Chain A
Amino acid sequence: DVKVTQSSRYLVKRTGEKVFLECVQDMDHENMFWYRQDPGLGLRLIYFSYDVKMKEKGDIPEGYSVSREKKERFSLILESASTNQTSMYLCASSSGVGTSGTYEQYFGPGTRLTVT
């Protein structure tokens, strides 16, 4: 079974703090993704990565950065947390382009971040 784990289920931070959200997958997947989930808006892509040290902006990258130093780990960084970044953050992974891939993304349980 594919397993995607996220470092925290719940997190409370203060405005202006630097926040790290960690995601680890154990299936040797090339692709990893960070989403933000808000009521009525569905899931919106923040950043994704096709390979180690590679990253691309998604639809809402402002205020976020990412790091992928190892294939299995993808970190989301909030440089200076703000109250409008209070949300559910979901990490996902999938096998790469060029495989007979099913395109299926596997999701972690999510981190509910509250910025006060």
Chain B
Amino acid sequence: AQSVTQLDSQVPVFEEAPVELRCNYSSSVSVYLFWYVQYPNQGLQLLLKYLSGSTLVKGINGFEAEFNKSQTSFHLRKPSVHISDTAEYFCASIQGAQKLVFGQGTRLTINP
């Protein structure tokens, strides 16, 4: 079975600093990967996805992620964060016919 591991449960950063949220996956088949964001008291919203093609994927709100097959990673990055980026971020991969397997989540806290 596939699994997704988010290496940090919490990441505190200062406003305007860069951030990287780490995600590793395990899979022996074709990989489809996603990052979702959950703002306080809301459902999940898709940030970006990797299905095929370029390994550098750009998403909404200035986020990007890089698919690295050799390291089985899909880390999320943003060069300069804003207070409004405070949220919980989930990495996920497709398992079987369109079921998502989620990581444990990373809580991003932005300090002024």
Give A contacts to B, CB under 8 Å.
4, 31, 33, 40-45, 48, 50, 58, 90, 92, 94, 96-97, 101-105, 107-110
Using a CB–CB cutoff of 8 Å, the interface residues on chain B facing chain A are 6, 9, 32, 34, 36, 41-46, 49, 51, 90, 94, 97-100, 102-105
Asked if residues A109 and B43 are in contact (CB atoms below 8 Å), the reply is: yes
Q: Are B49 and A43 in contact (CB under 8 A)?
A: no
Check A43 against B90 for contact (C-beta < 8 Å).
yes
Residues from chain A with a CB closer than 8 A to the CB of B51 are 102-103
Report whether A104 and B46 are in contact in the complex, using a CB–CB cutoff of 8 Å: yes
Chain A's closest residue to B101 (CB) is A45
Would you call A108 and B43 a contact (CB within 8 A)? Answer: yes
- CA–CA, A96 to B44, complex, Å? 20
A105 to B34, CA, bound (A): 10
CB pair A42 B98 closer than 8 Å: no
Q: Which residues of A contact B97 (CB under 8 A)?
A: 50, 97
Instruction: List 12 interface pairs A-B (beta carbons < 8 Å), by A numbering.
Output: A4-B43, A40-B104, A42-B6, A42-B90, A42-B103, A42-B104, A42-B105, A96-B98, A104-B34, A104-B49, A107-B45, A109-B41
